Amino acid sequence: MHDNATNLIKAIYDERSEGYDDSNNSHHVRQAHEYIECAQLKEGETVLDLACGTGLVTLVAKKQVGRGRVVGVDISDGMLEVARRKTREQGLDITYLEHDIADLSGLDLLPETTQGFDVITCASALVLLKEPLRAVKHWTSLLAPNGRLLTDVAVERSMTAARILAQIGAEIGQSVRWDASWVESEDSLRKLLSDAGLTVEQVYTSKAYETLEHKAGDGPEMFEKAVASPMFRNFGEPATKDKAKALFSRKLEEMASEDGLVHEEVRFYMGIARKQTNI
């Protein structure tokens, strides 16, 4: 049984599922390409794609590993329905499971004869988890010896609207649906992976998936666009909306450079780590 916070995330992504691959989410598509490049998948390898969503990583992974088993897990049945539809259209054989990725205990993921997955990926979901370290430790137990894990967190300077909403939340009694407070630099992700018992091969800052400029006076418009999304709809509740919009607009003005613009690059810290044979 899911807790209230997990059920809320599920509902949000159910609602977002049909439009998730559209241009408004183009950075997710670009990020998936980077995951595939970093994974360096080989024919016959087994892949577990956690928070697989609409299959942006999952489907390409299957094409690269061929006969290798690929499993996608996501909490949103809406996202999984899109992934399954795309999988059928492309004639691929992928197993999809609806489940909370924080704890996969009891799921029939691999045959008993298999030591674990060669590759586990988790894109754009780590900060949604209440206990990310505990989750990564659990995922590590599902890796084969010398298997590799790829995951990411958004750079703390990315996602301007989300960052402002997180800052003003306490003043209006609302909060964003994730916790990125522990993310301060590449070292934050490096430490998490290391503390989970993995050998960190690389943590780096991704290329900019999107480059945006916001005018200092664009606060009201940006706010309305943000609260139209199910991810931030709670900030648009009538009782506090006007106050939230004013606070949001003020924060955006404070962030502006001398040119009157807020420059935003959507980047992620990307981590690649390996399970050593003695773990």
pLDDT in tens, 64-108: 999 999 999 999 999 999 999 999 999 999 999 999 999 999 898
What local confidence, expressed as pLDDT, does residue 114 receive?
80
Q: In CATH, what number is assigned to the domain containing residue 132? A: 3.40.50.150
Q: Which domain holds residue 127?
A: 4-154+178-208+266-274
Evaluate whether residue 258 is within a structural domain. Answer: no
Evaluate whether residue 63 is within a structural domain. Answer: yes
Dist. CA 244–CA 250, nearest whole Å: 10
What local confidence, expressed as pLDDT, does residue 268 receive?
96
Evaluate whether residue 46 is within a structural domain. Answer: yes
Q: Which of 151, 128, 153 is nearest to 139 (CA)?
A: 151
Evaluate whether residue 164 is within a structural domain. Answer: no
What local confidence, expressed as pLDDT, does residue 279 receive?
46
Evaluate whether residue 249 is within a structural domain. Answer: no
Evaluate whether residue 241 is within a structural domain. Answer: no
What local confidence, expressed as pLDDT, does residue 277 receive?
76
Give the rounded distance of the alpha carbon of 150 from its chain centre: 11
* Intervals of the chain under pLDDT 70: 1-3, 23-25, 113, 278-279
Q: What is the pLDDT of residues 105-132, one digit of tens each?
A: 989 888 776 889 999 999 999 999 999 9
Evaluate whether residue 9 is within a structural domain. Answer: yes
As for how many domains the chain has, the answer is: 1
Which amino acid type is present at position 171? E
Q: Which of 151, 73, 240 is nearest to 83 (CA)?
A: 73
Q: Which of 196, 270, 275 is nearest to 37 (CA)?
A: 270
Evaluate whether residue 242 is within a structural domain. Answer: no
